[in-house]
Structure 1
């Protein structure tokens, strides 16, 4: 459709108000509620729980950083996560640390944990990559993650000379040019700082460091390290353990986000309350509504919000349960979370984002339509991308505008019949997508980008880094889900095919071999890379390793048991019987062979002496039969020999 100004387009559509059934008034008995048209879509109770600035919260807890400080999590020089203090100051993700410092000069930066190939291989190289946490190789293993320590933020300046100096810091650092009259003499420590760098920052528990003027930026050596998110996955596991206590269906959307279907839980609880408290179910706990915002209502809570129908009552119970979830996470782990409570996944997710951080929002039917009207199309699940661009290009950028459109109008914009129906229903809060348990991972990946290398020796370090990351994930999956991959693949850019991305699959080692020596994966990945070296080198700049086709560990145990059963030691009596049977069969076949030979000789003796014949009568068929018997005899001896050898080995194994 031709692009129009927004007002012109809306006028052309000739909007008409299309209202859903009026449910804002008090309804009577339960039977009347059930007969009310249009409410069959609001029988489920879904919670969307989203952790607030999750990565930043984990790092702040780990380092015991004051919650009033602006904190950013770095991955190399880019910000990947921010707490809300930093966000409210105008700092944004994807900024570099230096850009963030221009916005707010007192920013605190914490780098994600990294692992070093030298540490993995047990080198004596300085272990300075933990950011005050200790060796990153330990950080990458969940069971070895340390509890949070009381850390102090320290900072000092020094003016360097033309020579290079070393500083006594347990982490890597980066600074900007700074000159000061005061000079610190530092020696006999591991971490190396070039002479051009003058200002140093560190997050450290070392109280012997000089006072710092202000906190700056910590960095890592990108070319010889790989980041690890094991700490975040470890904390995520604990969060989901809390969510599953409540008995609902928990769908893991990401490490810090979940959908929980509480429908059955709330229905059972409602029936129990009806039996025990009758009409006074909500009389004593109405104040709990104040803990939540009402979607479509500007203020937090509504004072004494009295549920007016069955849906309001159950929504009240779901709101209370969601509040308990958030309190448990805060009490046990120290993290804040926000959540939305609605009648489907879309409403719950929209609601959870409305009043962040550390808040929850419920979606009562009475405010549903008015609450959806200002919601931007691009912020709704599955409405971004090309669909969002199409709608925005035609002047439709909010759910309220779609509410007033017909399906035919949406068709004219280029949407299919099914897409138009789906979008129209969504604008009125109708979504049929169910919450599904998706807790078993299907793949695990590890990727490393680096400067171009040209030899296998140079690529070895990268192979080790990537493999160590994937080894850590496989161990986590074994412990948490009791699964193991059947296949692995390597990914690379093919230098022989214009650097097109290629992947090659191979069979994974067995769980038994993996548990005996986890570095067996490094071996098979090296072999795979050597096999495709002409495609990878020279000029390799990235490498990925993936594992897939996960099977339960019991699947491998059954296979092992079957093989052990097949190769068990034979019984001596059975062996003797089989040996005697084979001997008798051999004698019988020998008799038949002798009889056949005798018959052939007798036929030859019937011809007169001196009588010549190129092909005596019966000679061809008799000779063919004789050759066939000889072949059968040879085959029989081979089979019998194999069987005898098998039993002989079995006896030797049994004797041992």
Structure 2
């Protein structure tokens, strides 16, 4: 245990990382094809873009643009179409001119790259939650505790339990805080950053873990990523977006309210969709700080007790949600929509072959990694008139 820290205080503070791959699909193609980082790149799926790198964004190219729109803004844009299965094939490939009616998209290369990143992240501990194909949360509280204890035993880390001025060193740690902290709080025109003993020490160590992971991912896989470090999932995610690309930021306890005050509500985790819009309209607010003027009873007049408490806390940077390690995959699916509908048995069998091949490759990867094999299979189809039928069976 870390000495001189009440158990109740330690229980309130966790060390959470959010790791976010920068323009992930584009990076996979950069590495695969050896494309220079400065080259504008867009990942294409049929007639539109599903990913663009920072060089392309600088030229005004955005996701979901059509190919002609993107080329008009950036003539030297390098377009890479996602891998596809051609009708009747059993392996995906990068075809020159795939069409929706004759090919099926495969995202397997990105899944494989994501799995490689996840293997590196789990090197520091098992408490890793994959949020999507290109981002993950890590709870490194136990690892931070162990590192601090090792340093304490070695006499290399003095601990501070009371607020100290930043000029004394970050959270009592001898040495500069530079490169770890986010921007200092401005008070009357003067920078003012205060450290708060254990919480800041905790994040200082966690930031070093984040640096290590980012360096390892870059060395082993040649992918850059951004990271956020905070005491909860919301703050960590906000931190990873603060200085992209290929940087990291810490949102410290003493800076949380100042940072949240002017933060747009839709930027907060889980408030970017209908719920966030609903809150902004009902209370005529735009920032987290605007919502501070409403009491918990006032919020309960519009939302149920659980949602009201969540809003009351989250706008102040309080989030007690837990990092949930990745659950084992319970099902897999391979599917294809046809427009116009297919009309011959030969075409059906050719596409059935593609779907079976795609599913088999993913099942084989699952078997190689975890020795798991499915017990049953379900075949489902819809007709042109939306009539649906299903048939299930046992897999040997």
Whether TM exceeds 0.5 here: the answer is: yes
Shift of 1:323: 0.6
Shift of 1:408: 2.2
Task: State the match for 1:232 in structure 2.
Answer: 110
Pick from 504, 508, 521 the counterpart of residue 390 of structure 2.
504
Q: How does 1:377-456 map to 2 (within 5 A)?
A: 377-394=265-282, 395-412=284-301, 414-450=302-338, 451-456=340-345
Unmatched 5+ stretches in structure 1: 1-28, 121-136, 140-169, 173-218, 511-656
Matched, 1:221 2:109: no
Q: How does 1:67-466 map to 2 (within 5 A)?
A: 67-120=37-90, 137=91, 139=93, 172=96, 219-277=97-155, 279-280=157-158, 286-287=175-176, 289-294=177-182, 307-394=195-282, 395-412=284-301, 414-450=302-338, 451-466=340-355
Task: State the match for 2:164 in structure 1.
Answer: none
Quickly say closer, same or farther: Cα 1:472–1:295, change in 2 above 3 A.
Answer: farther
Quickly say closer, same or farther: Cα 1:487–1:374, change in 2 above 3 A.
Answer: farther
SS for the counterpart of 2:130 is: strand
Q: In the alignment, is the contact (CA less than 8 A) between 2:83 and 2:92 conserved in 1?
A: no
Matched, 1:481 2:364: no
Task: State the match for 1:54 in structure 2.
Answer: 24
CA distance in 1, matches of 2:22, 2:331: 27
Quickly say closer, same or farther: Cα 1:34–1:437, change in 2 above 3 A.
Answer: closer
CA distance in 1, matches of 2:184, 2:82: 38
Q: In the alignment, is the contact (CA less than 8 A) between 2:15 and 2:139 conserved in 1?
A: yes
Pick from 2, 21, 35 the counterpart of residue 65 of structure 1.
35
**Cα deviation per residue 1:275-328 (whole Å; 9 max; x = unaligned)?**
2125547788734x4334516759xxxx99885411111110001111110011
Quickly say closer, same or farther: Cα 1:482–1:304, change in 2 above 3 A.
Answer: farther
Task: State the match for 2:356 in structure 1.
Answer: 467
Q: In the alignment, is the contact (CA less than 8 A) between 2:86 and 2:92 conserved in 1?
A: no
TM-score normalised by structure 1 residue count: 0.54
Q: In the alignment, is the contact (CA less than 8 A) between 1:342 and 1:348 conserved in 2?
A: yes
- Identify the range of structure 1 (433-442 vs 43-52) with the bigger mean alpha-carbon deviation: 433-442
Q: Which has the larger radius of gyration?
A: 1
Q: CA RMSD in A?
A: 2.7
More helix by share: 1
SS for the counterpart of 2:341 is: strand
Q: Which has the higher contact order (CA 8 A, sep 6+)?
A: 2
CA distance in 1, matches of 2:219, 2:175: 24
TM-score normalised by structure 2 residue count: 0.87
SS for the counterpart of 2:262 is: coil
**Cα deviation per residue 1:17-59 (whole Å; 9 max; x = unaligned)?**
xxxxxxxxxxxx946x778xxx677411110111010000000
CA distance in 2, matches of 1:296, 1:304: 6
Q: In the alignment, is the contact (CA less than 8 A) between 1:296 and 1:368 conserved in 2?
A: no
**Cα deviation per residue 1:531-583 (whole Å; 9 max; x = unaligned)?**
xxxxxxxxxxxxxxxxxxxxxxxxxxxxxxxxxxxxxxxxxxxxxxxxxxxxx
Shift of 1:458: 2.4
Task: State the match for 2:163 in structure 1.
Answer: none
Q: In the alignment, is the contact (CA less than 8 A) between 2:157 and 2:173 conserved in 1?
A: no
Quickly say closer, same or farther: Cα 1:233–1:426, change in 2 above 3 A.
Answer: same
Quickly say closer, same or farther: Cα 1:429–1:503, change in 2 above 3 A.
Answer: farther
SS for the counterpart of 2:49 is: strand
Q: In the alignment, is the contact (CA less than 8 A) between 1:440 and 1:481 conserved in 2?
A: no
SS for the counterpart of 1:236 is: helix
CA distance in 2, matches of 1:371, 1:348: 13
Unmatched 5+ stretches in structure 2: 160-169
CA distance in 2, matches of 1:304, 1:404: 25
- Identify the range of structure 1 (383-392 vs 337-346) with the bigger mean alpha-carbon deviation: 383-392
Q: In the alignment, is the contact (CA less than 8 A) between 1:49 and 1:259 conserved in 2?
A: yes
Quickly say closer, same or farther: Cα 1:293–1:87, change in 2 above 3 A.
Answer: farther
CA distance in 1, matches of 2:92, 2:312: 52
Quickly say closer, same or farther: Cα 1:503–1:426, change in 2 above 3 A.
Answer: farther
CA distance in 2, matches of 1:448, 1:320: 45
SS for the counterpart of 2:75 is: coil
Aligned length: 378
Q: In the alignment, is the contact (CA less than 8 A) between 2:20 and 2:227 conserved in 1?
A: yes
Quickly say closer, same or farther: Cα 1:250–1:392, change in 2 above 3 A.
Answer: same
Q: In the alignment, is the contact (CA less than 8 A) between 1:286 and 1:305 conserved in 2?
A: no
